[in-house]
Structure 1
Amino acid sequence: MAEKPITIVPLLSRALHRIRTTPPRIIASPPTQPRRAAVSLIIRVVPSPNAVLPPASSNPVTLSDFFELDWVNDPAARPEILFLQRENPAPEDSAMSRMRNTQEAHVAFPGGRMEADDEGGLYTAMRQTWEEIGIDLAEKDYTCIGQLDDREITTSLGKRLLMILSPFVFLQLTPNAPPPDPTPSTTLHWTSLASLVSAHAPPRWSTVAVDAASRLAPKHSTALRLIVQALVGSMEFPAIIVQPSSLPSVSPDGKPNVDILEKGILHSTRPHKLKLWGLSLGMTLDLMSYMVLAPSDARDNSEAHKSHSGSSSPISPMVQLPYQTGAEGIRMDVVAPSLASVFPRFSYPDVNFWIWVFGKRYREVVRGWETSVRGGGTNDRRINWSGSALSTFYAAVRKALVVVIVARALGILFGVAFATWWIFGQ
């Protein structure tokens, strides 16, 4: 007997309703760095091949109406999210794109920088999406659900602000929409949301290695970069291996699928591994976090969650979150799952040890944040917990790197002096 399909439509409905009713955290651009950018998180529900579809003219009026449609609630319906792969990463991706493994590719969301005549972040996200992949989010096929929290894009280990990034969530309201028209250097990957949040097929977690020298040494000083790389090693960031869904060769109405035959969206030269990491992973985890139980619900369901995860956490058993890092004993999934995407581990154990030594202030910030969330989040929106956590963490990283580099340099000098004495002093 075939198993009943596992649907995540209820989780998606929960998430989108919560996003629509939750005010995002807006970060004002400082006068010294006014640059901003915006991206689009586009979600669609692919109907079952056997579903009876409504007339093209009958769009649902509200979000609740959409999730009451029969074809949406069909157990075989497949919610998907759109990622894209750029051959030439956008400037806001470049700070996170120095991957060491050339067989890996970084997936992101459509979007880009705000221009002077843009009316706001939402306009920027819609304009950039149209220009980059040919999807007109102003059409009746789509609706804007809301905005996720603003994110700070930094470089040089969090020391310098590059710009503020605003993510907007869109939902395709119709089972079929006009096909996209991506630029030649862009490949689209519609990815099943179930591959990110289903406990029956949990996401495949991996890492992305980035040379620490790319963050610490000048770009044009090859010798200095090699020295820093030898002294500090590399940083490893968590990543999800993305498995794009295969589009059928025939659309639900029986016609050839123009997405494949005309637009060439699924290229045969797909890279060995597609990895979701960095800022894109953080925004995806922000979306996933809306699928979990709210803090107020967690107190009533902690015993049920203990049976699934072994600890009381406001996390639905259906949602898989990344490994924890940065502070032992602190539940990062309670405060902000997306923070785990930007806290790296270093390849040298002594670097991680010194980060822990200097990370007392960081741990205090995260514990304060956790207390706020577990208490109902009454002051969670007023305090910039994420900014404080990131700044204190990277402050500890910078101190640790100074200690490690000085210790390595002294060790090398001592070794050279001892070898010189041993050879010439005997």
Structure 2
Amino acid sequence: MSDESRAIIKPLQSLLTHLSENPYPHVPTPDGCRKRASVAAIIRIRPAFKPVLPTNGSVVDISEPPSPPSSIEEFFSQEWVQEGDPELLFIKRAGRAGDRWSGHTALPGGKRDPEDADDLAAAVRETREEIGLDLDTAHCLRAGNLPERLVTTTWGRDTLMVLCPYVFLLTGKTVPALQPQPTEVAAVHWVPLRGLLSTTLRTREFVDISSRMAKHVGPVIHKVLRAMMGKMMFSAVSLVPSESVYASSIPGFIPTEGGDNFGTVSGWAQAPYGVPESSKSLAFQQPILLWGLTLGVLSDFLDQLPPYNAVRLWKYPTFTVPDLRFLVYIFTRNLRHNTAETFSSGSWANHTAVDATTEAIPVVPDETVPTVSEAEPIKLARRESLDKHRVGIGGLGVGPNPKHAMGKMLAGYYEKVNVAIAVFLIYRTFATAGAAFYVYKFLQARRQARL
């Protein structure tokens, strides 16, 4: 076992024990929102390598315990677990028209149905339907939940659903064969936790935030803003799977055209889908990036494992356009410098997860607000408590008075980014107008000279 895995095992046991004994509070469905969804963060321990000995006709001993462990403590007390490598399961969603999360790297899960007893039951059912893994067995321990989040549109502030993440621990040395449902899931990947925590795999995802404004400003202004502002860069993790299972029955999995002229196609053709968009490219072989909603949800979990360092593992969002990026740098320089000195280590949690069109904000309970049952809509006072966590550019910020280091690192950042964008748009507008006026005068002078 690698030193990285050995350093993770004990903190992982403590974290799972803490989550199982201290569940995060239930978030009732807001007024005007009818959807709830659940996802499953599934953990397994891959045993350390051991040579397979010849059986000589005898039955192979797989060294499984006579009965599965009944607690997290009992599971981690086993020697093979202490020497193993913790891994987390991800899916790559299949390409579907109209699906805002089409092709995204995600956790298995989906919308809660009326027949589901609760949010936990929805996570178990969706996992079984999507990848053929039954979490309701003696070989799977429930290890609590992560903060429930309100998923809203970043522009209109419409609440799309309540997202409920649950944590599960598989206790067997072997895992049942996974079966991706081809209309839902393009691939399933087991990813080592040490890879998710590695600084060498941290990267960026580029998002066209002007797309959030398209419905409000019209196609012409949208194209102008996109050309001026470029894309916004968010922190991401490049996933390195230890094991992958693909939905090989998806149309296009085996190319039917193209011969040996394999190449690449532009990102706009590949990005939305988890299956090949062209006979010239096997899109399922493209790099797997974890970012946005799923990365934000898992940050509440991963950032409590070594190396406990928010500054090393995370970068502030910024833009691709050089002059806008420079303005963001200037306006946020003091804030970033001060927070970097204050929060160079310690447990921290990401309060907001975002992608190109949505955000998900964990709700911090307000003791002054009375408890509301799941069937009862959120009252005005409760809704105001939720709204205070919706701040910043496009809803990407965190609420006031954050309790975790990540929240404190981001507190006030997007307000300064807003100012930088405003200055950028004003300066670009005047610069464009000045250039147009100069060209007009130049052409007019040439015309007069010819006369």
Same fold (TM over 0.5): yes
Distance 2:66 2:248 in 1: 25
Shift of 1:178: 2.1
Task: Name the residue aligned to 1:37.
Answer: 37
**Deviation readout 1:231-250 (Å, 9 max, x if unpaired):** 22211111000000047xxx
Structure 2: segments with no counterpart, 5+ residues: 52-60, 255-281, 318-331, 357-391
| 1:116-166: CA deviation from partner (whole Å, max 9, x where unpaired) | 332221111111111111111112221211110012323234733322211
Distance verdict in 2 for CA 1:27–1:335, change over 3 Å: farther
CA distance in 1, matches of 2:413, 2:99: 22
Contact 1:133 1:180 in 2 (8 A): yes
Q: Distance in 2 between matches of 1:411 and 1:320?
A: 38
AA aligned to 1:190 is W
For 1:84, the aligned partner's letter is I
Which residue number corresponds to residue 73 of structure 2?
Answer: 64
Name the residue aligned to 2:13. 13
**Alignment correspondent of 1:285:** 299
Question: Match of 1:321?
Answer: 313
Corresponding residue number in structure 2 for 1:179: 177
**Which of 185, 198, 206 matches 2:203?**
206
Match of 2:89 in 1: 82
CA distance in 2, matches of 1:318, 1:230: 33
Q: What TM-score do you get using the length of structure 1 for normalisation?
A: 0.68
Q: Assess if the C-alpha contact under 8 Å between 2:181 and 2:247 holds in 1.
A: no
Residue 239, structure 1, aligned to residue 239, structure 2? no
Question: What is the CA–CA distance in structure 1 between the aligned matches of 2:220 and 2:110, rounded to whole Å?
Answer: 34
Q: Which of 285, 288, 307 is equivalent to 1:274?
A: 288
Letter in 1 for 2:315: Y
CA distance in 2, matches of 1:147, 1:243: 25
Does the CA contact (< 8 Å) of 1:196 and 1:320 recur in 2? no
Contact 2:349 2:407 in 1 (8 A): no
Q: Per the alignment, do residues 279 and 92 of structure 1 end up closer, same or farther by CA in structure 2, a change over 3 Å counting? A: farther
* 1:337-376 matched pairs, under 5 angstroms: 337-339=349-351, 342=354, 368-369=401-402, 372=403
On the 8 A contact 1:132/1:182 being kept in 2, the answer is yes
Give matches, 1:18-167, under 5 Å.
18-50=18-50, 53-55=62-64, 57-74=66-83, 77-88=84-95, 94=101, 106-157=104-155, 159-167=157-165
1:189 aligned partner:
189
The answer to whether the Cα contact below 8 Å between 2:202 and 2:313 also exists between their aligned partners in 1 is no
SS at match of 2:313: coil
Provide the C-alpha distance between the structure 1 equivalents of 2:219 and 2:4, rounded to a whole number of angstroms.
Answer: 54
Aligned residue type for 1:39:
V
CA contact (8 A) 2:108 2:130 kept: yes
Unaligned runs of 5+ in 1: 98-104, 248-258, 293-314, 345-357, 375-384
**TM-score between the two structures when normalised by the length of structure 2:** 0.65
Q: Secondary structure at the match of 1:338?
A: coil
CA distance in 2, matches of 1:162, 1:106: 17
Contact 2:310/2:344 (CA < 8 Å) preserved in 1?
A: no
Asked if the contact 1:18/1:290 (under 8 Å) is kept, the reply is: no
Cα displacement (A) at 1:289: 2.5
Q: Secondary structure at the match of 1:119?
A: coil
Between the aligned partners of 2:18 and 2:316, the Cα distance in structure 1 is 25
d(CA) in 2 for partners of 1:48, 1:72: 9
Deviation, 1:112, is: 1.2
Which amino acid in the other structure matches residue 241 of structure 2?
Answer: P
CA contact (8 A) 1:130 1:136 kept: yes
What is the rounded CA distance, in whole Å, between the counterparts of 2:310 and 2:62 in structure 1?
Answer: 29
Contact 2:5–2:85 (Cα < 8 Å) also in 1: no
Secondary structure of 1:218's partner? helix
- Say which one has the larger Rg: 2
Question: 1:363–1:134: structure 2 CA closer, same or farther, 3 Å change rule?
Answer: closer
Indicate the SS of the match to 2:298.
helix
Go from structure 1 to structure 2 and tell me whether the alpha carbon gap of 1:220 and 1:108 turns closer, same or farther (over 3 Å shift): farther
Q: How many residues align?
A: 346
CA distance in 2, matches of 1:36, 1:396: 33
Deviation at 1:42, TM superposition (A): 0.4
Cα contact 2:236–2:295 (8 A) shared by 1: yes
8 Å CA contact retained: 2:29, 2:36 = yes
| Aligned AA (1:83) | F
Rounded to whole Å, the distance in 2 between the matches of 1:69 and 1:342 is 39
The equivalent residue for 1:409 is 429
Percentage identity across paired residues of the two chains: 26
State the partner residue of 2:441: 421
Pick closer, same or farther for the CA change 1:397–1:3 going to 2, 3 Å.
closer
Contact in 1 for aligned 2:108/2:126 (Cα 8 Å): yes
Whether the 8 Å CA contact 1:126–1:137 is kept in 2: the answer is yes
* AA at the equivalent of 1:204: L
Distance 2:415 2:113 in 1: 32
CA contact (8 A) 1:322 1:340 kept: no
Q: Once superposed, what is the RMSD of the aligned Cα atoms?
A: 4.1
